Amino acid sequence: MKNLSLILILVLIGSCSSKKFISGTVTDTEGNPIYNITVNSPQAIYGSRLTDNNGKFRICVRKRDSIRLCFEHRLFFYFNYNGLEDFQDYYKKEIDVRKEDKYINVTLEKTPERIHCDSLISKALDRAYYIKGQIYNKKGQALPLVDVLVEDLPFIPRQTPFFTTSGLNGVYEIAIPNRDSVRITFSDMLDKKEKTVTIKGENSRNINITLE
């Protein structure tokens, strides 16, 4: 029994000594943290990781003299949006990390597609206003995690103020482009329920929705 315990301890020590964690922050060329960047490595032990809202990541890798890390991101949507295709919005970047490095800072450059998309978003936000409300089911219970998005935009709304998700109390707030009429879709992916409403003018600032 003592021999077995000793073996387990030696295996654990060997496992810990053969791996290390690399942490870091991913930003754009203006120093803004980038959310949801995939961080991968051929030496990764537990697979790839994503950066958080502050652009930070932590990945476990096998110890090597040089460790290759890959950073990439595609602006995606879970279904087709007005015929717009997903695209790579930051150039993929690969770097070699030295054995002694434990923390790194990485800067990613926007692609021309992303720069064009940002200009469209900025133009739409110049005259946008916000609406808010609460989402319920037919029993009157608040619905969290419902996706809310503005339709008919020239860009994919995810990761912009024109897309949001309801909170735990079913409350949402979303930017609306200044147009005569705007369609908004509410999608409950869990219960596979969806509803699209049309609002006209800035008079509609509070909209409560029931998904049946």
- Count the domains in the chain: 2
Report pLDDT for 15.
46
Q: Report whether 33 contacts 25 (CB < 8 A).
A: yes
**Is residue 118 in a domain?**
no
**Is residue 85 in a domain?**
yes
Cα separation of 196 and 12, whole Å? 55
Q: Residue 132: which of 182, 170, 189 has the closest Cα?
A: 170
Angle at alpha carbon of residue 173, lines to 204 and 131, rounded to 5°: 15
In this structure, the answer to whether residues 136 and 204 fall within a common structural domain is yes
Report pLDDT for 99.
84
**Is residue 64 in a domain?**
yes
In this structure, the answer to whether residues 140 and 105 fall within a common structural domain is no
Cα separation of 83 and 196, whole Å? 18
Domain boundary, last residue among 77, 110, 143: 110
In this structure, the answer to whether residues 70 and 143 fall within a common structural domain is no
Torsion of Cα atoms, 200 then 178 then 208 then 159, to 10°: 140
CATH number reported for the structural domain that contains residue 166 in this entry:
2.60.40.1120
**Is residue 117 in a domain?**
no
Cα separation of 65 and 80, whole Å? 44
In this structure, the answer to whether residues 60 and 91 fall within a common structural domain is yes
In this structure, the answer to whether residues 38 and 105 fall within a common structural domain is yes
- Between 177 and 86, name the one with better pLDDT: 177
Range of the domain at 153: 127-211
Q: Per-residue pLDDT for 2 more than 60?
A: no
In this structure, the answer to whether residues 96 and 29 fall within a common structural domain is yes
In this structure, the answer to whether residues 80 and 134 fall within a common structural domain is no
In this structure, the answer to whether residues 134 and 106 fall within a common structural domain is no
In this structure, the answer to whether residues 29 and 75 fall within a common structural domain is yes
How many helical (H) and strand (E) elements, i.e. helices and strands, does the chain have? 2, 14
**How sure is the predictor about 7, in pLDDT bands with cuts at 50, 70 and 90?**
very low
In this structure, the answer to whether residues 98 and 136 fall within a common structural domain is no
Q: Is the pTM of this model over 0.85?
A: no
Structure tokens at 139: 């029993």
Domain boundary, last residue among 56, 82, 110: 110
CATH number reported for the structural domain that contains residue 41 in this entry:
2.60.130.10
In this structure, the answer to whether residues 90 and 25 fall within a common structural domain is yes
Cα separation of 176 and 205, whole Å? 10
**Is residue 119 in a domain?**
no
**Is residue 27 in a domain?**
yes
**Is residue 12 in a domain?**
no
Domain boundary, last residue among 62, 84, 110: 110
pLDDT tens sequence across 55-70: 999 999 998 888 999 9
Report pLDDT for 9.
43
Cα separation of 109 and 60, whole Å? 25
In this structure, the answer to whether residues 24 and 100 fall within a common structural domain is yes
Q: Residue 110: which of 121, 102, 101 has the closest Cα?
A: 121
Q: Residue 92: which of 73, 78, 113 has the closest Cα?
A: 73
pLDDT tens sequence across 75-132: 777 667 777 778 888 999 999 999 888 999 999 999 999 999 999 999 999 989 999 9
**Is residue 116 in a domain?**
no
